[in-house]
Amino acid sequence: MFTRFLQTDRQKATLLIRLMVGVVFLSEGIQKFLFPAVRGAGRFESIGLPAPELLAGVAGGFEIICGVLIILGFLTRFAGIPLVIIMLVALFTTKLEILHTEGFWSMMHAARTDWAMLLGSLYLLIRGGGYGSLDYLVFGKYMKKDFPVHP
């Protein structure tokens, strides 16, 4: 099971998804510490999350660490798990209220980055880091012959 999580496809285009997801999460994680009143604990408190300073620190830490891992393509699938959870929490804690108060199209507009990060993280969780990732370079020996490979 563990070696299955180390496997990756050989898609070169996966690098684009890794860069999109990794850079956004890295940036957002850093901002939670640089601007805590608007991006970190203050934001978490304003949306009613318990223990906002603790949660903002944990979320920011995971975003930084997992963002770097995804940019490098190292343990990509493992790094995707907390990011999927973070995005689901973000969608449910912030976008449902917009849906309720402002309607569907306002919610869709507000959720566009969350949606892209959720789907990008899910893609990496499913497919791995792709060609040129550290997963591919370091753990390539664990590649199974039957793992789906597309040109």
Whether 151 is in a domain gets the answer no
Q: Which residue range is the domain that position 96 belongs to?
A: 2-141
Are the beta carbons of 52 and 41 closer than 8 angstroms? yes
Q: What is the pLDDT of residues 34-66, one digit of tens each?
A: 999 999 999 999 999 999 999 999 999 999 999
Are the beta carbons of 31 and 56 closer than 8 angstroms? no
Number of domains in the chain: 1
Whether 149 is in a domain gets the answer no
Whether 38 is in a domain gets the answer yes
Q: What is the full per-residue pLDDT of the chain (151 aa) written as tens digits?
A: 677 778 888 889 999 999 999 999 999 999 999 999 999 999 999 999 999 999 999 999 999 999 999 999 999 999 999 999 999 999 999 999 999 999 999 999 999 999 999 999 999 999 999 988 999 998 876 565 545 544 4
Whether 88 is in a domain gets the answer yes
Are the beta carbons of 128 and 81 closer than 8 angstroms? no
Query: What single letter denotes the amino acid at residue 106?
Result: S
Give CA–CA dist 45/119, Å, rounded.
Answer: 26
pTM of this prediction exceeds 0.85: yes
**Torsion 42-48-54-59 (CA) sign:** negative
Whether 119 is in a domain gets the answer yes
